[in-house]
Structure 1
Amino acid sequence: MLMPEIDALLGLSFCMYFFDNKQHKLPHLHVKYGGYELIIAIESGECLEGYLPNKQRKRAENNIAEHREQLMHMWQKAVKGENPGKLGDIC
């Protein structure tokens, strides 16, 4: 399964797998920091699985909330196997 990085912020890497709607069923992102990974729902900001240190988790949640509409558009592309592009690209 391909997982392009769609954004990077202060050591955080935001990734979205292609065709990734089977396990969690909700639109979500994989956020990596060092050896940690947290899966966060795009619409609710809920932490679905994994762990990030508190400071990085809050930073990731804020970034997702700030870009929620574009992330949902990107999710629709990714689950169809299309490259979602990078956060900040014009859709």
Structure 2
Amino acid sequence: MPEIDALLGLSFCLYFFDDQQHKLPHLHVKYGGYELIIAIETSECLEGYLPNKQRKRAEAHISMYREQLMQMWGKAVKGENPGKLEGVC
């Protein structure tokens, strides 16, 4: 599972071939011992938990880069390396 981005302790990851369980395009966001799976298109929390502050930060980050994340998702579900999120300061 490649890490595609990191932000203030949050780690954003995409699994290869990960379209079976949740069906929706999604990211795995990790923070310490927590992990939350968030839908890319809607920022809906699909499974897991992050503390409120980190969850809001993750949702905002996903919203800001939604189009690029959808392109990366398309690569990851085909087994291709999605690369890193570009344009992140």
Q: TM-score, normalised by structure 2?
A: 0.96
CA drift at 1:54: 0.2
State the shift of 1:11 in Å. 0.1
Please list every run of 5 or more consecutive structure 1 residues that lacks an aligned counterpart in the other structure: none
Segments of structure 2 that go 5 or more residues without pairing to the other structure are none
Q: What pairs up with 1:34-73 in 2 under 5 angstroms?
A: 34-73=32-71
What is the alpha-carbon distance in structure 2 between the residues aligned to residue 72 and residue 35 of structure 1? 26
Aligned match of 1:79 in 73, 77, 80? 77
Question: How far apart, CA to CA, are the structure 2 residues paired with 1:45 and 1:54?
Answer: 14
Distance (Å, rounded) in 1 between the aligned partners of 2:61 and 2:82: 17
Taking the aligned partners of 2:35 and 2:50, their CA distance within structure 1 comes to 6
In the alignment, which residue of structure 1 is the partner of 2:5? 7
Aligned to 1:31: 29
Identity fraction in percent: 84
One-letter amino acid of the counterpart of residue 50, structure 1 = G
Q: What count of residue pairs does the alignment treat as equivalent?
A: 87
CA distance in 2, matches of 1:23, 1:87: 24
Cα RMSD over matched residues? Answer: 0.7
The separation in 2 between residues aligned to 1:35 and 1:27, in whole angstroms, is: 23
Q: Give a deviation string over 1:49-78, Cα, whole Å, max 9, x none.
A: 000000000000000000000000000000
